[in-house]
């Protein structure tokens, strides 16, 4: 799938090292989440399956954060809990820190392990497992 211009612009606006990280994440995510919708959501690139946010990345002060909305359920030591729901993150300051096998494994799990963030407001903050 072609990466939308707004995501390419987001990546291009980053400093050189961060841009390299964003480009690797973007290409790898897009290659493994075939059929996913991707767009800028809350000012950051995010991929969705059936309207449910799955994975995205964002520029923080000193790194690029890769966020999996259901990542705490992946049982992966390379992902750290983030927030009060089921999200987990990995942070990168160099493209060399991205371990392709880990990223590909996390992306595979993001397809098979999902919590229903799409309907969290309707359910008044209660998450239900989809897959």
Fold of 5-112: 3.90.1150
pTM: 0.93
Give the pLDDT confidence score for residue 128 in this predicted structure.
79
- Tokens 């961060």 sit on residue: 18
Cα angle 77-108-53, degrees, rounded to a multiple of 5 = 90
Give the pLDDT confidence score for residue 1 in this predicted structure.
63
- Of all helices (H) and strands (E), which one includes residue 125? none
Sequence spans of domains, the chain: 5-112
Q: pLDDT truncated to tens, each residue of the chain (131 aa)?
A: 689 999 999 999 999 999 999 999 999 999 999 999 999 999 999 999 999 999 999 999 999 999 999 999 999 999 999 988 999 999 999 999 999 999 999 999 999 999 888 777 787 777 778 86
Q: Name the DSSP letter for residue 14.
A: S
Give the pLDDT confidence score for residue 9 in this predicted structure.
98
For residue 54, give the nearest of 121, 1, 122, 111 by alpha carbon.
111
Length of the chain, in residues = 131
């Amino acid at each position: 799938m072609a990466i939308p211009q707004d995501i390419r612009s987001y990546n291009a606006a980053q400093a050189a090292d961060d841009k390299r990280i964003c480009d690797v994440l973007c290409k790898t995510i897009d290659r493994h989440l075939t059929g996913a919708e991707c767009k800028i959501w809350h000012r950051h690139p995010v991929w969705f399956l059936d309207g449910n946010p799955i994975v995205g990345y964002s520029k923080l002060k000193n790194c690029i954060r890769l966020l999996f909305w259901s990542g705490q359920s992946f049982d992966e030591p390379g992902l750290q809990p983030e927030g009060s729901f089921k999200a987990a993150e990995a942070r990168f300051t160099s493209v060399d820190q991205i371990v392709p096998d880990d990223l590909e494994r996390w992306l595979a799990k993001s397809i098979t392990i999902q919590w229903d963030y799409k309907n969290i407001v309707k359910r008044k903050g209660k998450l239900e497992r989809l897959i």
